[in-house]
Amino acid sequence: MIEMKSKNGRMGDWAMFSIFLFFVIVIAGGIALGTSIFFGTGLNYGESEGADLYNAVSKCMEDKVLGVEEIKDADFYKTCMLDKEILFSYFTLRIEEKSAGRLINFGNAEACLFDVEKIPKNAPKCVGGKVENGKGEFIIIAGSRQK
């Protein structure tokens, strides 16, 4: 004698329900994906913000003739009008003194895969360049980690 596990025949209902749920998820996901592709995924301000940070820091270093010691000093943020907390949380900045090879990192500096000569395509949010002032030659790379 075959033992019937689903005595009231509800197994089929639950199987159909699973299929219904699957199709609802697929259709809803498809509509959301389709409209997102059609209307675009949004704007990217990362690179522009990286460029703004680079310009602000390089201009400050040139105008105020800042060297590594001054940059390491707590007054650096006030001198260059930078918000320390925001810089570390949402931006990234690396300053390298070329002659001595001394590095100063702000935020997650490794995010840019720093190579000023060839910034990789997969790190478009980083902007780099050289700055010369009375204290030496510096390589500055700045980026934004805001999405």
Q: Please answer whether residues 67 and 135 qualify as being in contact, where contact means their C-beta atoms are separated by less than 8 angstroms.
A: yes
Return d(Cα 125, Cα 46) in angstroms, integer. 5
Which tokens sit at 100?
């001595």
Nearer to other proteins, 77 or 102 (CB): 77
Nearer to other proteins, 55 or 105 (CB): 55
Nearer to other proteins, 90 or 116 (CB): 90
Distances (CA, A) of 102 to 69, 70, 108, 137: 10, 13, 17, 11
Indicate the helix (H) or strand (E) that contains 87.
Answer: helix 84-90
Q: Minimum Å distance from CB 137 to other proteins?
A: 24
Q: Give me the sign of the Cα torsion angle 113, 93, 69, 85.
A: negative
Q: Minimum Å distance from CB 123 to other proteins?
A: 19
Q: Minimum Å distance from CB 119 to other proteins?
A: 20
Please report, as ranges, the residues that interact with other proteins according to CB under 8 A.
Answer: 13, 17, 20-21, 24-25, 27-28, 31-32, 35-36, 38-40, 42-43, 45, 48-49, 52-53, 55-56, 77-78, 81-83, 85-87, 89-91, 146
* The one-letter amino acid at 70: E
Q: Minimum Å distance from CB 88 to other proteins?
A: 10
Which tokens sit at 46?
């990362």
Nearer to other proteins, 32 or 100 (CB): 32
Nearer to other proteins, 4 or 39 (CB): 39
Upper half-sphere CA count for residue 24 (Cβ side, 13 Å): 6
Q: Minimum Å distance from CB 4 to other proteins?
A: 19
